[in-house]
Structure formats: C-alpha cells, structure tokens
Amino acid sequence: MYSDGSSRRRQHLINGRRVRLSDLLDAQLLDADDELIFERPRLGEVHRATVTRRGRIRLEDGQEFMSPSGASDAVTKVATDGWYAWRVGPSGPFLHDLRRQLLEAVASKTPEDDEPQSTVVVRRYEGLNAARERAERGDPEELTVRDLIRRWGGQDRDRELTAEIEADLANHGLSTVPDFRAVGLDTVVRLEVLSTPEDVENVAAPAVPSAPSLAFHVPAVSPSDEESEDIGRTLGNLLPDKHRLVSVSPSASLDEAVTEMLLGDYSQVPVLSGTRDLRGAVTWQSIAIARQAGGDATLSDAVIPVRDFPYNTRLLDVLGVLWSEEFVFVRAHDKQVYGIVTAADVVRVYDDMATPFFLIGELDQELRRLIRNRFEIEDLQRVCVSGENLTSYDDMTMGDYLSVIRNPDCWAKIGWTLDRKVVGTHLDELRKIRNKVTHFNPDPISSADVDRLRNFLTVIRAFDR
C-alpha cells in the first residue's frame, strides 16, 4: 500500500491525529475522481459527490468540503457523521471502513525501534478496537474519566491531551457518554458507537419554517471528523463526583423540606416528581414568604420556579443566571436532574484558580525583569521563538523565556551557578502549568504544581538579587 518510510510518517494517525480524506488518497485507498454516494432510502434521496485531487469532497452543485461531515451536513441540513454517510460507488465501502483499513495498516507497520512508546500506542489502538467491538455488541466498556485519560499517559485534561483522546476515539467511531470533557474525573463514562450508516440514513431533515425570514440554518461541521472544540469549564465539571442530590416530592409536607434543609445544611432543595420532572425548588426565603402570608403554609405555597441546564453547558454561559438567581439545576446526559450548582460553587472554583494565576503572573514579571536587565531586544530576536516579531520585552512569551534559559550563551550571561538543563526542564513544566491555567483547564491545578510555582519563584529571586 505504501513504503515503510511513509508508514513511519503515518504513525501519528494512531496516536492522536484525526484521519483525513487526503490520508486515504495518500494510502491509495481512494482515488481522485472516485464517486461517493450518500443514500437515504427512507426519504427517497440519493446524493452524489466526487473526490478531488486535493482530498476534498465536491458536491453536484460544485461546493467543496474538506471533511465528509461538512459535505453530508450540506445536503441534509442537519449535523450528520459523514464517515458513515458516504460510500464509494453504489455498493462500495463506507469512508469509515476505509479509515479502519488505513489505521490497521499503520498499526501493523509501526516500527519497533521506538520502544516502549510505539508499543504503548499500538496497545492503545488495539484497546480501542476492542472497545468498538464491545460497543457494537451492545456491551460498551465503562471506566472513569481518570482511567480513560491515563491510557493516553495523562493526569488531567489539558487542551493537547483532550484533542488527542477525541481524535483517537473518533478514528474508531467512538464517543464517551457522558462527554468526558464535561464531567468530573471520577465520573464513569461509556465508550459507545458514535454513529452507524443506519443512523445516518434515518436522520430526517428539519421542517422548513413557514416564515421566509427564518430560513433554516445549516449546522457547523460535525466534530466527528474535525478538530476538537474547546468547551471550557462546564456545569458538570463543578459537581463533585460523589455528590448526592437531596430532593422532596410534590406531595411532601413543608416540614419535611425544612427538615432536609436543616439536617443537610442546604439553602434550597428541588421538588422532583421522579428523576426528570423538576417542579421547582424550596428555599429559606420562599419558606419565609409563604409562612409570612399567614395560614397553614404548605409545600406548594413555598415552591418557586427554577432554571435547569444540561451538564455540558459552559459555566460562562450561565454566570448571569447564577448571579441573579443564585443557583441552577443540572441535568445529566440522560435528562435526569442530578445536581445543583450555586453561586458559592463558582466563587470556590475561581478562588482555586486565583492562586496559580497570580503566581504565574509573578513568574512572568520576574523572568521579564531578569532578561530586560541583561539583554537587548536585538539579542533576543536571534534566540527566541518569536524571532524578529519580538519588538518589546512585554511581548515575550513563556516559550521565549525558555529559549533564553536553554541557550548556553544566554545562560552564561545570566551568570547563575545553577544547572542550565535542570532549570530549563523545570521552566518547561511550569509553562505547561501556565497553559492549563490560561486555557481554563477543567481540572483543578494540584497543590504540588502550586508548590512548584512558589519554589521556582523563590529560587530565581534568591539568585537574581
């Protein structure tokens, strides 16, 4: 299919990079001008497209798309997984089948001179194959988010690791339920089949609105074969993994609600009929108002309307609601009401972020002062990753600081009696911590990482007096 040299270059396909249409062309699994067909028998539709030499899909109307899902979205007007929509010719393999063939070939040709990393990658690939087979049998593998990311050698969900996991899962047609990015590290997720050709064939197009000004919106390309989308911190991230939602039923007495709130030290409890029917909530304020009105107040007199959101809702999208209403309820992936997030939770989260954020700010100031006192901008342009684009000390990045520290001539000019390589290694680790903080990594910065920031600051201040 391809040479061992090109096989080496394709190893990243089984290690955190999404397969593209151009990869299928390079591996000669597809040819330019091949016809692709997307049939939807239930709707009596047949869509045709052509593979271009640039690795794109050209529809009959001339539109071109880099991704299979972009092309299928355009013809269905709803988000669909194009890898399971388009097949080669009227009876040829689906694009997903070709993707699997490519990955199998890459895994079988992965060289052994890169041990033990290549072994880890191949074993992970084989594990995902097994997970796909289990999911297709209706027996999906279950594991915690923490165990999932450990398979990729991670301890928390930084941007790069999350993108790698999503890419490998998507290449195997898998997804996690619930979304592993939007829940706690100890939440159990299932590895389920992302889609099937039957699912795609039966996706119905939305009804066209009657008002001409409300023409339907063609959704963005499905993330199944595109780059990972940052979702930031979510409501699900804020909920403790072993939290317990205490509620009362609509038929409960007001005394029962008061007792639950007193013994649990709660400011509010939801009123639930079953696990999905949220009738409202009772708060200390609503109880006081109901009793102040006189008479024998009942639970229904104290129930107030509340807001609820899916677990994967971005925290930033509901800050206004939390500010005005002080709490919201959270629904799981199966629509059950399973948690509550309060304004106090938000304060706690941002308080946890504040310490490493300020320490990183101090580290940046100290490194900039150190370099400003020893180097001219022209000297830095020859060394730093920013190159000639660096025109001010204030524009220096953590990568620029690292370039200076790692350069032997610059290190000699700094004049510290410390080991340059060790200092560079520690600074590179701090750069990664900085990225977690500034990219709003959903997992908290560990106390050990906070201590590393403090210790590094203490050392450079002591040596740069």
Do 63 and 142 sit in the same domain of this protein? Answer: yes
Which residue, 291, 312, 335, sits at the end of a domain?
Answer: 335
**453 and 360 Cβ atoms separated by less than 8 Å:** yes
Asked whether residue 353 falls in the same domain as residue 448, the answer is yes
Asked if the structure places residue 214 within a domain, the reply is no
Tell me the sheet residues that pair with 59.
49
- In this predicted structure, the answer to whether residue 221 has a pLDDT above a threshold of 90 is no
Residue 38: which domain range? 4-198
At residue 440 the predicted structure's pLDDT band, cuts being 50, 70 and 90, is: low
Q: What is the pLDDT of residues 61-98, one digit of tens each?
A: 999 998 999 999 999 888 888 999 999 999 999 999 99
> 242 pLDDT band (50/70/90 cuts)?
confident
The CATH number linked to 269 is 3.10.580.10
Examine the pLDDT at 321 and tell me if it is beyond 50: yes
* Residues 315, 422 share a domain: no
User: Same domain for 42 and 176?
Assistant: yes
Q: Is 149 helix (H, G, I), strand (E, B) or coil?
A: helix
Enter the tokens of residue 214.
């409300």
Phi-psi region of 284 (alpha: psi -120 to 50; beta: other; left: phi over 0): alpha
pLDDT at position 190: 96
In a domain, 341, yes or no: no
- Higher model confidence: residue 111 or residue 375? 375
* Helix and strand counts by DSSP (H, E) for the chain: 19, 14
- What confidence category does residue 255 fall into, taking pLDDT thresholds of 50, 70 and 90? very high
Does any domain span residue 209? no
Close Cβ partners of 253 (under 8 Å, ≥ 6 residues apart): 298, 299
Q: What is the side-by-side order of every strand in the sheet holding 277-283?
A: 268-273, 277-283, 303-304
58 shares its domain with 188: yes
In a domain, 211, yes or no: no
Residue 101 maps to a domain: yes
Residue 203 pLDDT > 80, yes or no?
Answer: no
Task: Quickly state the pLDDT bin for 229 (edges 50, 70, 90).
Answer: low
Residues 310 and 359 in one domain: no
- Contacts of 92 by beta carbon, 8 Å cutoff, 6+ apart: none
364 found inside a domain? yes
432 pLDDT above the threshold of 50: yes
- Residue scoring higher pLDDT (430 or 201): 430
Question: Could you give phi then psi for residue 370, rounded to 5 degrees?
Answer: -55, -45
β-pairing verdict for 45-51 and 57-59? antiparallel
Q: Do 300 and 372 fall within a single domain?
A: no
Do 330 and 429 reside in the same domain of the chain?
A: no
Confidence of residue 2 (pLDDT cuts 50, 70, 90): very low
Residue 260 token pair? 């639950």
280 and 319 assigned to the same domain: yes
Rounded Cα distance, 63 and 401, in Å: 46
| 325 lies in the same domain as 374 | no
Say if CB 329 and CB 339 are below 8 A apart: yes
For residue 303, being part of any structural domain is answered with yes
How would DSSP label each residue in 172-194?
Answer: TTEEEES-TTSS-TT-EEEEEE-
340 belongs to a structural domain: no
> How many domains does the structure of the chain reveal?
3
Does the pLDDT at position 309 exceed 90?
Answer: yes
* Exposure letters 272-306 (e unless 16+ CB within 10 A, then b): beeeeebbbbbbeebbeebeeeeeebebebbbeeb
Torsion of CA 142, 440, 221, 225, to 10 degrees: -50
Tell me, yes or no, whether 45 and 190 share the same domain. Answer: yes
Query: Do residues 164 and 17 both lie within one domain?
Result: yes
Q: What is the SS3 assignment for 126?
A: helix
Residue 3 has pLDDT above 70, yes or no: no
Location of structure tokens 């829940």: 183
The residue among 311, 335, 359 that closes a domain is: 335
Using the 3D structure, point to which of 301, 335, 369 is the last residue of a domain: 335
